Structure 1
């Protein structure tokens, strides 16, 4: 049951966050059900599910059920989306997708896949953790703190997003190898590099925005890393 859940979750994270470019999201919000990228998004999810589940005929019904419900949820979200409710809709949307995954898994329990030899629970857990640390966390943080973002300044395109991904991956690695001191070094290094921005800021907005973003990024990374270690412990006891 846990193996199938992780496979479905991995496919979901891959399709919803990694393989969905920003211009797809923009097109869907503007054109809604008429956007070709809405259907392209469904095709990506379908392909991800088929690949992760090994093209097994017994899972075809589950795949089409997940895709149908995913389409209904995403379409409803597009028509309900407003600037003031985008944060809550983001989390409700993801919660519904996870509940569907759990429901489908329950229908197929107990379950045993031939791909278990290659896609071990530990590997799938690591894959899910990496996707959560990178694409998911970046989008979640953008949703949570976008309303406080200061006026745009000249900077490399998407540099902040990729810096945040790298810092969370470093924190994850430090926790997994039980090197908590590394987090302190990383925080100190970031503070040094950000010192100029903080001292040159004309008001407190930029300082507070950077502080909120840093604490949120570090907090998410620590939470995901601890969840990953806990899951490994559960998997170890289940053997």
Structure 2
């Protein structure tokens, strides 16, 4: 576990703290010919060796550096194929973390994964999954008739309300599991403050009632899920 932690820390330092934006731009422009690509890999190798602080692990540092080069190079050429830059970014990070995991645990990684799934709290996983998109779909069905009577605000971000609801339900579920009911009140209060000006300016009673019902339903589903999990 300690080796993986050190490899992860080295990755975070090399990929985020020691990589200026101009390096990233230069790599995206010049790709394999970019000098900063190779400097970036060299820094990863050095930081990894320093954090491991044991020369017997030099092979691990070499494997990490070579794999990092291959993944970064593939990302540079694949990124233009995606409309959203976030997709190749997250794929890139996932591949890096996978390599670090395999390098750190070597032959034991299959057993570690098996132990992880055996010890996993499946009721908790089910609760977390439910309060995300399934709960959003359930709420959409409940509010479908009311939503048809509300004028859409085209200035809003696409699906912003859905993702706000998912995040707030996850927070409510977390607070219930931790037994911090007062935090749920603070969350409701904070959301009310942010919504107050919008509702005041719109002067739309139907919209106000729709948002209020949606908020109460969202919190209610999360609270019910949390209570069922704890029971």
TM-score by length of 2: 0.47
* Structure with the larger RCO, 1 or 2 (CA within 8 Å, 6+ apart): 1
Larger radius of gyration: 2
The TM-score with structure 1 as length reference comes to: 0.46
